[in-house]
Amino acid sequence: MSDYQALVLKKTTQVIRPFHWWSFLINVAIASVIVIALVWLLTQELNWIISLAVIPITFVYNLLKDCLNRIYMHSIIQRQYAYTIGKHPEWQLYIPVFSDATNMYRLKSTALLFRETTCSLITFKHRFFAKYPDDSILVPLGKDFSITSFEPVPKQPYGFCHISLMGTDFTIGVLYDEKLIKKIQSVIDDNTKDV
């Protein structure tokens, strides 16, 4: 794996599972209130020692949950990359994509592959607890797949590609990186020349 490929995978994980202190602290506060309320409902008394002990416990719980989610997401990306390069070693750059579900980004079981001046879309068939994808479909750039435009998101490390797949329009999120955007833009420019 090249240094640039490793950087793309790491930054994509950071985009999909970012760590924000303010949301982390809000989660800790909400979890603490819920646990304290449950203790009070079950015991019908409020013990300040237990109430104060709940805060560091929920802090550690939320910290572990966020760390494990990020590790899990990175391992999925790494496995999809390993599967893709094992099956299609001729491709030079693997770009994981994600979707926007109201500011919560979800990794798609799809990726963009680049080789020199061409691009393809790979889609994985992946069972939930499977270590590697079961199968994949590779759709080359052409009449079945095209990238129509790219929109960067202001002040964010990602942007959205508008693609057409089998006549249906989709929007996918990709990492905003100068080298990557040049590759995407060259594919878009080639599409407009062909039309």
pLDDT (tens digit per residue) in 129-138: 667 777 778 8
Mean of pLDDT over the chain? 82
pLDDT at 157 over 70: yes
Residue extents of the structural domains in the chain? 90-194
Which uninterrupted H or E stretch holds 67?
Answer: helix 48-87
- Running DSSP on this structure, what letter comes out for residue 88? -
- Running DSSP on this structure, what letter comes out for residue 47? -
State percent of the chain over pLDDT 70: 91
Compute the average pLDDT of residues 23-32. Answer: 90
pLDDT at 26 over 60: yes
Q: What is the pLDDT of residues 34-65, one digit of tens each?
A: 988 888 888 877 778 888 888 899 999 999 98
Nearest of 186, 187, 151, 177 to residue 4 by alpha carbon: 177
Cross-strand bridge partners of residue 150: 161
Residues 74-89 as b/e (b if ≥16 CB within 10 A, e otherwise) read: bebbebbbebbbeeee
pLDDT of res. 23: 85
pLDDT of res. 15: 81
Compute the average pLDDT of residues 15-20. Answer: 78
Compute the average pLDDT of residues 138-147. Answer: 84
pLDDT of res. 140: 84
Q: What is the spatial distance between Cα 107 and Cα 96, in angstroms, rounded to a whole number?
A: 8
Q: Which residue has the higher pLDDT, 93 or 193?
A: 93
- Running DSSP on this structure, what letter comes out for residue 173? E
CATH of region 90-194:
2.30.29
Residue 184, phi then psi, degrees to nearest 5? -65, -45
Which uninterrupted H or E stretch holds 146?
Answer: strand 145-152
pLDDT at 30 over 90: yes
Q: pLDDT category, 24, cuts 50, 70, 90? A: confident
Residues 6+ apart with CB under 8 A from 131: 79
Residues 6+ apart with CB under 8 A from 169: 148, 162, 163
